[in-house]
Structure 1
């Protein structure tokens, strides 16, 4: 086996050492749960009768045999194009389970909101905490404790992290994630981007913009840009929680159905009653989490995972921070450019070699852990393959030896850039994430006067009034988890991009979120501590910044600082919590949330994780 890169080895050793006690406590809990919940026959007859009552033809198998029973936890709804295909999955999965002498039940559904629908709207303030709601809903589904394994149906932004977090608390069982695949490619990404910018400049109307958007988001399946949803799928393969090559096979195709069938059959093999038990708690270890980080960096994936990865890790007793991501980024080369970082979408990426090519390159170059336990037979080596149909049989062949498109996918020996493009910037304004892979290198350092706002709508108003036509660092504060649930701030991308195109030096500093769909403007995002005062009443430094303060942001040196003395200043008053759209129901989650670097979670913080 190729020797591991020394930086990756060092980060791995550091994470394992830092997590020693918490990981041991987690594994001890999972061992006790396995002993305590090892056999549903320990349940009373009335309990079991309730569990079997709706199973119809499967009742005799469940009640009078030792057959395996699988929980299906589904994020189906037909509001999300990516999740619409899941409506037909459970009935098919029950048939696939019967083929191997097992049964399956929909144990529960979890909420699944679309950030594309709520982008820039009030509902976006529920988005981050929907992840915790999904984790808790997963726990409710699994609390029936009559299952031998978990089949998890989820794809999009907060849904996969939430499913992982919830399922890990039942890690004495095996878990298989089953995707549904991306929609076919629509209009060219450059054409869509051009129409968006023309609309922002007032040169085309809303009807033309809507036609353009619907030409892109047009049918069932995952949106095809490489944002958080598709980054989720990439990470599930890097962690070994999905079948090899299954992320980007289109919905409603024979190959997609064959992969779903194979996933159910594999779950039967790796369950605690199967021939090759592989509990999730053993699959998701420190190396698997770091593989997810490495895949994120190598492919230029969503910066949302700077928040989700620490949260998922905590659910498994693993402590991950942004310094770990920064150090990994210095060693992991960028080998993929997928829209919005490149011109082609995930369908083009898959056709060019996809995840099989990426994983084989990373493991082969000593840039990822090849020795992790996965759900697939053969470990990480199996993930250097891709699925095909040979007649009606599912087969796996070696991924292409050469990239099918060197403008999108390159070998580790000849990357697009030598680092992974996600930097930690820090200083007297706190710690934040800077996604350098999307930004031209000459813009990695910006020093300019600040203009401070408390909402993205205020930024838009100032832009329209011509007040930002100058070198400027736009500060948008009171957007963190405790303030308003940390919504994504993509209303900022078009106006800031226009200012940059006019030749101004422009940067963004915010305690809010941006994702893998973020643009070309240098940005320090997810700033922590956030502006709103913490539980002890201490405000974050962003609350002390004033218009005109010079801010220096530099990805080269990892700097985020205001060139002013903040001592003695009175913090700006926080806006009153917004009401409506159910936001008031999430007040307890805002009040209990910890910082973005820890995952921005009330559930984990208050749960002692």
Structure 2
């Protein structure tokens, strides 16, 4: 199948736009590459002695001889996050597998890992987005010793995988493989979970009933099973060729999961300079891989957070993308999955129905992925149409199922759930915004109603509880951008707005904040850029202004007289309460330096390629 002409055009546009910065990035990575020998042979004897003084004798001997590769492990392990608890066992598996492959592995460093599910609606959520850049810097610290010949990145959740990848790309001369932990087994149904949440929002369920429901949903080790940012991360690593094929959604604690972890270490040993083939990550993450990532996001109805994260990831590799690229591809990429919140199934159902191997094969067959990319397998993306299995006691791969085993969850490209990817760019006199409509019914995709302006999600929830929102309205929740308060997710609002929508009211949300990978059935224009604190026009909105959100036409407008709108001053906000507590004091510089959402909300300023202006 020939490449879809829209995909070809968008990729060429990205390549042209990025030519200078990409060339400069590759020159830096080539300069960092060691011409011969292992990395540790290029540091002094004293430095080497420090690097493996505490290692066990046999490994120390190998390191001292300096002929075999040394693999660095960077992990987001902690045992408070269910998704990352399984990483506790993995370094030992990796070290053993590395020895068997003729290599040595060292734990290079840990990175912080916070859970948006724990901080949702709490002050700590204001650190969440910026934790991505902290993780990137922590990854750089771990690798800065310059004694590693390859990297294994262990991470799963929301900001962690993007942060690990941004950090790893600054060491782009090193081969890098991402090692997932897998999703927890299925708990109660997602529809049941959502129902109890809505009942609690209406006062029809007790807190004890809500907690029991949530604990039945989030019940064991592994990633949360809905298709939010964490599982979107795993899809992206697979479609970008940074996982072993089919590794994303194998449950933790299983023999296959352990075997895939060992196989990742063995594969990495082969793709270092000391192995049979050298595959640095700088050459894997190119313009085609970034375009493939956008396609994968659209085809699966993935997390809106990646309209921010993918921009920052691409910039770390010298590549510039913007929301026009997402929007143009969304028009031609069909939606092939229904996973909660875009359906009732979870990622375990998706994996059982055919999973990533089936999905990638369908997209390749439709000409909607670049198949000629380089991956960690070194053979193009076709290898990722396979799924892992056992050949005796070793992991092997076989072709993914020929047909979906559950077409309510996973469909072929010839019979999609919808003809487009369900992610839209909205433009108008309120700025630029994105909306995820894959879970929004067509009759709710156009809302024209008076604005009610809120300074935060708590104000909206208080008004809901007072019974003041039983009417048609568009909630404008502003001063929620990166520079204002770190751009927290506002997913706490979903149950209340869903209740009002089900009661027959026309409701929508417009905000310069985020929702999340769990953006659902209520229309939400999010990431409005420029943000209010930067003088964005959303700060001009007043209570009662008629707002039109039209996801079909791609517009977001305040229907206010043009002269009056031009004369209005932007509102200001008292953000003193967002400057202190739960560590927010330490993130002052992050807020001050953050660029806009469409530029990736990066805090690195000029250290990465200059962000694109907002068109």
TM-score calculated relative to the size of structure 1: 0.98
* Alignment-derived partner of residue 215 in structure 2: 214
* Alignment-derived partner of residue 19 in structure 2: 20
* Alignment-derived partner of residue 101 in structure 1: 102
In structure 2, the residue corresponding to 1:368 is in which secondary structure? coil
* Alignment-derived partner of residue 613 in structure 2: none
Alpha-carbon shift at residue 584 of structure 1 (Å): 1.2
Runs of 5+ in structure 1 lacking a partner? 534-538
* Alignment-derived partner of residue 423 in structure 1: 424
- Once the two structures are superposed, the pairs formed by residues 516-531 of structure 1 within 5 Å of their partners are 516-531=517-532
In structure 2, the residue corresponding to 1:602 is in which secondary structure? coil
- Deviations along 1:275-316, one digit per CA (max 9) or x if unpaired, are 111000000000001111100000001000000000000000
Alpha-carbon shift at residue 568 of structure 1 (Å): 2.2
Query: Distance in 2 between the 1:18 and 1:351 partners?
Result: 40
Do the aligned partners of 2:316 and 2:609 also contact (CA within 8 Å) in 1?
A: no
* Alignment-derived partner of residue 543 in structure 2: 547
Query: Distance in 2 between the 1:240 and 1:560 partners?
Result: 36
Query: Distance in 2 between the 1:117 and 1:376 partners?
Result: 36
Query: Distance in 1 between the 2:66 and 2:493 partners?
Result: 59
Query: Distance in 2 between the 1:103 and 1:516 partners?
Result: 37
Matched, 1:559 2:559: no
In structure 1, the residue corresponding to 2:22 is in which secondary structure? helix
Query: Distance in 2 between the 1:433 and 1:417 partners?
Result: 18
* Alignment-derived partner of residue 42 in structure 1: 42
Alpha-carbon shift at residue 548 of structure 1 (Å): 0.5
In structure 2, the residue corresponding to 1:307 is in which secondary structure? helix
Do the aligned partners of 1:478 and 1:575 also contact (CA within 8 Å) in 2?
A: no
Query: Distance in 2 between the 1:42 and 1:184 partners?
Result: 46
Root mean square deviation of aligned Cα: 1.1
Alpha-carbon shift at residue 35 of structure 1 (Å): 4.1
Alpha-carbon shift at residue 273 of structure 1 (Å): 1.5
Do the aligned partners of 1:179 and 1:247 also contact (CA within 8 Å) in 2?
A: yes
Query: Distance in 2 between the 1:303 and 1:25 partners?
Result: 30
Query: Distance in 2 between the 1:221 and 1:172 partners?
Result: 31
Query: Distance in 1 between the 2:130 and 2:555 partners?
Result: 29
Query: Distance in 2 between the 1:218 and 1:69 partners?
Result: 37
Moved more, 326-335 or 264-273: 264-273
Do the aligned partners of 1:592 and 1:605 also contact (CA within 8 Å) in 2?
A: no
Query: Distance in 1 between the 2:605 and 2:35 partners?
Result: 24
Query: Distance in 2 between the 1:65 and 1:368 partners?
Result: 40
**What is the aligned residue count?**
603
Query: Distance in 2 between the 1:605 and 1:481 partners?
Result: 17
TM-score calculated relative to the size of structure 2: 0.97
- Once the two structures are superposed, the pairs formed by residues 152-301 of structure 1 within 5 Å of their partners are 152-301=153-302
- Once the two structures are superposed, the pairs formed by residues 143-158 of structure 1 within 5 Å of their partners are 143-158=144-159
Alpha-carbon shift at residue 40 of structure 1 (Å): 2.2
Alpha-carbon shift at residue 542 of structure 1 (Å): 1.1
Query: Distance in 1 between the 2:366 and 2:506 partners?
Result: 38
Query: Distance in 2 between the 1:308 and 1:231 partners?
Result: 11
Give the direction of change, closer, same or farther, for the CA distance of 1:365–1:460 in structure 2 (3 Å limit).
same
Query: Distance in 2 between the 1:190 and 1:127 partners?
Result: 27
Give the direction of change, closer, same or farther, for the CA distance of 1:401–1:608 in structure 2 (3 Å limit).
closer
In structure 1, the residue corresponding to 2:532 is in which secondary structure? coil
Do the aligned partners of 2:40 and 2:66 also contact (CA within 8 Å) in 1?
A: no
Query: Distance in 2 between the 1:184 and 1:605 partners?
Result: 43
Query: Distance in 1 between the 2:500 and 2:205 partners?
Result: 19
Query: Distance in 1 between the 2:160 and 2:545 partners?
Result: 39
Query: Distance in 1 between the 2:100 and 2:77 partners?
Result: 24
Query: Distance in 1 between the 2:605 and 2:362 partners?
Result: 35
* Alignment-derived partner of residue 536 in structure 1: none
Runs of 5+ in structure 2 lacking a partner? 611-615
- Deviations along 1:147-180, one digit per CA (max 9) or x if unpaired, are 0000000000000000000000000010000001
Do the aligned partners of 1:428 and 1:541 also contact (CA within 8 Å) in 2?
A: yes
- Deviations along 1:63-96, one digit per CA (max 9) or x if unpaired, are 1241100110000001110100101111111111
Query: Distance in 1 between the 2:608 and 2:241 partners?
Result: 27
- Deviations along 1:187-219, one digit per CA (max 9) or x if unpaired, are 111111111111111111000110100001000
